[in-house]
């Protein structure tokens, strides 16, 4: 219990952010059409790839001779980057199709 209180006291600011972000997260995608469920999930997937920052810090703080930390950190950086880059590229590929259609739609009236 004591740990719990000291945790809250130590991270007061962070906890406020958590609470506000929960509401922002729900609000922001509140009225998403079913069409966009998959790209939205994929985009969100890429955003939580921000965990890569932690991996970079771990890697950057590892001592030269601490091979466990070096190897694990290195793997963490690779998989974290996979999450970020792969996530954004996949999302972009999905959305490319939407924008492609939008363009042709806009062009058609002009041609006629």
Partner 1 sequence: MASILTLIYLIASITFIVGLKMLAHPARARKGNLIAAAGMAAAIAGTILLYEDDNGNGLQNHFWILGGLIIGAIAGTVAARKVKMTAMPEMVSMFNGMGGACAALISVVEFEHLMSSLHATPGLTVIESAFQSGLRTHLLIILAGLIIGSISFAGSMIAWGKLNGSIRDITFRGQHLFNIVVLLLVFLMFFYLVGWLPANGVLLFYTVLGLSLLYGVFFVMPIGGADMPVVISLLNSFTGVAAACGGFLYDNKAMLTGGILVGAAGTFLTILMCKAMNRSLLNVLIGSFGSDQKQSGGTNAHGTTYKEISLSDAAMVMNYAQKIIIVPGYGLAVAQAQHTCHELEKLLELKGVEVTYAIHPVAGRMPGHMNVLLAEADVSYDKLQEMEQANSEFPTTDVVLVLGANDVVNPAAKDDPSSPIYGMPILDVSLAKTVIVNKRSMKPGYAGIENALFFQPKTSMLFGDAKQVLQNLINELKEL
- Tell which positions 32-61 bind partner 1, by CB under 8 A: 32-61
Q: How many positions of this chain bind partner 1 (CB under 8 A)? A: 87
Q: What is the CA radius of gyration of the chain?
A: 21
Minimum Å distance from CB 3 to partner 1? Answer: 5
Minimum Å distance from CB 12 to partner 1? Answer: 12
Determine, following the binding rule CB under 8 A, whether residue 98 of this chain makes contact with partner 1: yes
CA 74 to chain CA centroid, nearest Å: 20
Residue choice 65, 68, 109, 111 for contact with partner 1 (CB under 8 A): 68
Residue choice 12, 67, 100, 107 for contact with partner 1 (CB under 8 A): 100
Give 110: exposed, middle or buried? Use CB within 10 Å, 0-12, 13-18, 19+.
Answer: exposed
Q: DSSP states of 38-66 as a string?
A: HHHHHHHHHHGGGGHHHHHHHHHHS-TT-
Minimum Å distance from CB 37 to partner 1? Answer: 4
């Amino acid at each position: 219990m004591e740990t719990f209180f000291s945790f809250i006291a130590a991270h007061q600011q962070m906890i406020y952010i958590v609470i506000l972000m929960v509401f922002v997260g729900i609000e922001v995608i509140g009225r998403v059409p079913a069409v966009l469920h998959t790209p939205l999930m994929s985009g969100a997937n890429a955003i939580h790839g921000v965990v890569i920052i932690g991996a970079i810090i771990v890697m950057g703080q590892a001592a030269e001779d601490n091979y466990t930390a070096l190897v694990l950190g290195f793997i963490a950086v690779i998989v974290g980057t996979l999450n970020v880059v792969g996530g954004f590229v996949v999302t972009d590929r999905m959305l490319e199709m939407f924008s492609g259609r939008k363009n042709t739609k806009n062009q058609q009236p002009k041609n006629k």
